[in-house]
Structure 1
């Protein structure tokens, strides 16, 4: 299929974001897991927790380095691929970009102290540096998300044919919906990373059920994974309620709602057809969308046909991505409930084969939900780069031949991805036992983590 320079620019930005978001999420969450392991090591004197904190610190450093590279590429791409957007709105939304830079350098400084100061600074200062890495990583993601919130729900300026005037940077920085959206993103970072970590250690425990190190590592990952999996649907619901009021065309695309109606059904699955205005193979829950969006079974939900056709996002893509996000999120929440029930009843984290298989299979779901959620946000905003104010087509660079940088960066990202996977595999391989230990708490392949 022939691609225009606009599509290549969008594809390159999408590829860069899809690649970077994995490392950004890890940069937010791994320091928290690292600090928890370090704190447990200091409290118990257990060498396994100390080893785990060291491994997590090395993993954080690897992912931080690659995230810094991909994040820098994204910064350049904003200016090079979308010069009209940055030229007109850089002044409006420049404050969170600047603060994100401060958070990034703060994270780098304290990560250096944590990595190389373990035996060189006091234990308190060393642990504090780890906490600051976690706080700075979260702050970095927070400020970047504020930019995205602005692009979806702009405020803090007056739009004119010649560009924005009467600029209020703080109002632009905290555009409507900032609290729920930033909370949703931060939770997704913690959830994706904790599920990935749990999946990795579950896979090792399936082969080595007596490994004390991996049982303890699982005991660090599972609480964060379970808590975030249960909080995320609540925050996601609040975020969706804001979208229903502020961005009704996006909600209509997410739900495949073509006609305006009261008592709108909630559609599970299905594939929208924009030509016929129908959603095939969907399971409809009567009044479900009206209840979830507005808390009223008879509330009116605006359909896509209420809006000009040239302002519709790609309906099928948005709907499918939204279904993937909700489906994976629901599966993780269900597993979290089962795991916490087991923990409450047995007073121990589960490590039996069935539960380990469940966590192994669920390990990638957090990242799948994270990527799908960002696709919903970005596709759902189209055809606008700043919703209702500037179209994506009007913001793109006039420089031709954008296929060349797209394919170049695709190769670079594939290479970086292979290198990162190899490095992380080595970190995990170093923790594998030479032989499966047998002890009193390993019975029939069932081990318990206290």
Structure 2
């Protein structure tokens, strides 16, 4: 492996690990907010217990997300100095504002945890709203740097110089709103289905009609409603994302669909793999004219193929598989909740068969996997550029060598962190059962978020 590949692999591994905690760290506060709203409306203690337990999990995940995010920031400076030089001149605002977003999130989470029983209900809601806003703002601001990489704006590049710099124009680059919408919606999908996966797993172990069964059943239904709704919104946003790729990064769209020849009435290739030699997507299911319609809302929209670009500008062709994996999982996350609702409403079934429960358990990991596919697709599909058509990845990389040792050490760190976070969560929830938390909530003299629990 050459040093450039090791640098990309090291940073990619860091982001692949960090994005799990960052995404759940955005989706879980929203779930906590919804549970708190339902409690204030219904006074059903099950919902406030859900909020408490999810808050504890959120604190553990945040404890890992913060250091891994810090590692990612340090690696950006050390591994990609050329890139950070441009960002420092043209696009500093997201990093600067993100500090305040995190401050808001941490401050109001502290208020909610330590003063929930001492403040008015509207203040509890307000504190959680600020937590959720701070979390999603942090994600959007950092993701905006990625949006800028794909659609750079706010400066003029001439003879290696960055001139007429406008930081706000760079901030509100052409793909800002599409990218911000996609990261927010997909994070809420992940948060909901991770909660639903845990609830389905717990239901599988409980006797029908027991107190814990009913508790986890409520959590499952809540997560399925929210997850299905936001999965549908994510799919609609994906349509806008395809149109922005058609306009701003046509070779990325062409590689995602394995399209080599420029054409109108272009087909949409589902499944299969891209064969560079034969210039086709083998074993794919093609939907005639669909890609043209997705790209421009018209079947006669001309979609540019890869052969219209120099081959050195082609993204890796395996991004077709990543794109299909992301879209395929997203489709399942819409259909599976609909199947559950149909099972209950149409067939009038009150219990769930084990295969259905196991399917719901798998929805959590699948949602996380879709995020991983989407992130790798977004970044790898921009190659060979770190800033599209301005700065190549090779030009922005560090000149340091012998990075393999660091790569191995960081992988070891992530393995230890991963094992530790799972062990801590298992220990806490085994020590504090649902019945224990419900009992504490029913005792007016015991604070719901007592640090002794």
CA deviation digits over 1:119-146, x for unaligned, max 9? 3444432332222111100111111111
Q: Distance in 1 between the 2:25 and 2:161 partners?
A: 36
- Please report how far the alpha carbon of residue 99 of structure 1 lies from its aligned counterpart in structure 2 after TM superposition: 0.8
160-169 or 133-142, which moves further after superposition? 160-169
Contact kept? 1:339, 1:350, Cα under 8 Å = no
Contact kept? 2:269, 2:286, Cα under 8 Å = yes
Contact kept? 1:28, 1:138, Cα under 8 Å = yes
- Please report how far the alpha carbon of residue 432 of structure 1 lies from its aligned counterpart in structure 2 after TM superposition: 5.9
Contact kept? 1:322, 1:373, Cα under 8 Å = yes
Partner of 2:160: 162
Partner SS state of residue 286, structure 2? strand
2:358 paired with 1:357: yes
- 1:307-346 matches, cutoff 5 A: 307-316=309-318, 318-341=319-342
2:308 paired with 1:306: yes
CA deviation digits over 1:371-406, x for unaligned, max 9? 111111000000000000000000001111111221
Count of matched residue pairs: 431
Q: Distance in 2 between the 1:113 and 1:212 partners?
A: 30
- Please report how far the alpha carbon of residue 14 of structure 1 lies from its aligned counterpart in structure 2 after TM superposition: 0.7
2:384 paired with 1:383: yes
Partner of 1:293: 295
**TM-score between both structures, scaled by the size of structure 2:** 0.90
Q: Distance in 2 between the 1:339 and 1:323 partners?
A: 24
Partner of 1:251: 253
Q: Distance in 2 between the 1:279 and 1:199 partners?
A: 34
- Please report how far the alpha carbon of residue 347 of structure 1 lies from its aligned counterpart in structure 2 after TM superposition: 9.7
CA deviation digits over 1:63-113, x for unaligned, max 9? 111111111111111111111111133221100111111101211111122
96-105 or 33-42, which moves further after superposition? 33-42
Q: Distance in 2 between the 1:90 and 1:275 partners?
A: 42
Q: Distance in 2 between the 1:263 and 1:304 partners?
A: 16
Partner of 1:197: 195
**TM-score between both structures, scaled by the size of structure 1:** 0.91
359-368 or 147-156, which moves further after superposition? 359-368
Q: Distance in 2 between the 1:431 and 1:141 partners?
A: 32
Partner SS state of residue 295, structure 2? helix
Partner of 2:125: 127
Partner SS state of residue 276, structure 1? coil
Q: Which structure 1 residue ranges, 4+ long, deviate > 6 Å from structure 2? A: 346-350
346-355 or 230-239, which moves further after superposition? 346-355
- Please report how far the alpha carbon of residue 340 of structure 1 lies from its aligned counterpart in structure 2 after TM superposition: 4.5
- Please report how far the alpha carbon of residue 28 of structure 1 lies from its aligned counterpart in structure 2 after TM superposition: 0.9
Tell me which of 257, 273, 276 is aligned to 1:274. 276
- Please report how far the alpha carbon of residue 12 of structure 1 lies from its aligned counterpart in structure 2 after TM superposition: 1.1
Q: Distance in 2 between the 1:348 and 1:46 partners?
A: 24
Partner SS state of residue 154, structure 2? coil
- Please report how far the alpha carbon of residue 351 of structure 1 lies from its aligned counterpart in structure 2 after TM superposition: 4.8
Structure 1 stretches lacking a partner, 5+ long: 435-450
Partner SS state of residue 272, structure 1? strand
- The alignment's C-alpha RMSD in Å is 2.0
Partner of 1:216: 218
Q: Distance in 1 between the 2:218 and 2:331 partners?
A: 26
Q: Distance in 1 between the 2:362 and 2:165 partners?
A: 49
Tell me which of 263, 266, 277 is aligned to 2:265. 263
Structure 2 vs 1, CA of residues 344 and 227 (structure 1 numbering), >3 Å: closer, same or farther? farther
Contact kept? 1:215, 1:351, Cα under 8 Å = no
Q: Distance in 2 between the 1:301 and 1:354 partners?
A: 42
Partner of 2:76: 78
CA deviation digits over 1:53-72, x for unaligned, max 9? 11111111111111111111
Structure 2 stretches lacking a partner, 5+ long: 437-453
Tell me which of 237, 240, 247 is aligned to 1:238. 240
Q: Distance in 2 between the 1:346 and 1:431 partners?
A: 32
Partner of 2:227: 225
Partner of 1:152: 150
Partner SS state of residue 279, structure 1? strand
Partner of 1:444: none
Contact kept? 1:339, 1:349, Cα under 8 Å = no
Partner SS state of residue 61, structure 1? helix
Q: Distance in 2 between the 1:388 and 1:426 partners?
A: 50
2:104 paired with 1:99: no
Q: Distance in 1 between the 2:392 and 2:350 partners?
A: 51
Contact kept? 2:148, 2:175, Cα under 8 Å = no
Contact kept? 1:230, 1:336, Cα under 8 Å = no
Partner SS state of residue 315, structure 1? coil
Q: Distance in 2 between the 1:72 and 1:166 partners?
A: 31
Contact kept? 1:150, 1:386, Cα under 8 Å = yes
